[in-house]
Amino acid sequence: DAGVIQSPRHEVTEMGQEVTLRCKPISGHDYLFWYRQTMMRGLELLIYFNNNVPIDDSGMPEDRFSAKMPNASFSTLKIQPSEPRDSAVYFCASRRDSLYGYTFGSGTRLTVV
């Protein structure tokens, strides 16, 4: 099992540019989560999906952020336009069901300059 795979590992972009973060969950896991980690706010849940359907997006900071899960093996988190305050580590996680734990990817470190 390759685990949760995120790409890219690092992203540096200029303010105003569009950024797309990608996540491949573990096969068979029916929940997928996007988190953002910053020093000031810690680990924040942005959005999560169950069976590819968004369940709770109340953590998405603003309309510049959007997330999709077109199929069970792929999800994207898009920021458009990006701003310096979006700089953070973005984690993706997946889970099979309530009997199991949550597995996290290695994260994407985003820097907006």
Partner 1 sequence: AQKVTQAQTEISVVEKEDVTLDCVYETRDTTYYLFWYKQPPSGELVFLIRRNFFDEQNEISGRYSWNFQKSTSSFNFTITASQVVDSAVYFCALGSNTGKLIFGQGTTLQVKP
User: What residues between 42 and 61 interact with partner 1 by CB under 8 A?
Assistant: 42-43, 45, 48, 50, 55-56
Residue 40, SS3 per DSSP: coil
Question: Is residue 72 within the footprint of partner 1 (CB under 8 A)?
Answer: no
Q: Is 89 in the site for partner 1 (CB under 8 A)?
A: yes
Cβ partners under 8 Å of residue 18, min gap 6: 78, 79, 80, 81, 82
Residue 103 interacts with partner 1 (CB under 8 A): yes or no: yes
Which one, 71 or 98, has the nearer CB to partner 1?
Answer: 98
Nearer to partner 1, 93 or 112 (CB): 93
70 is a site residue for partner 1 (CB under 8 A): no
**Cβ(92)–Cβ(4) under 8 Å?**
yes
Q: Which of 52, 73, 78, 104 binds partner 1 (CB under 8 A)?
A: 104
At closest approach, how far in Å is the CB of 82 from partner 1?
21
Choose among 105, 108, 91, 102: nearest CA to 31.
Answer: 102
In the three-class reduction of DSSP (H, G, I as helix; E, B as strand; rest coil), residue 86 is classed as helix
Do the beta carbons of residue 6 and residue 26 sit within 8 Å? no
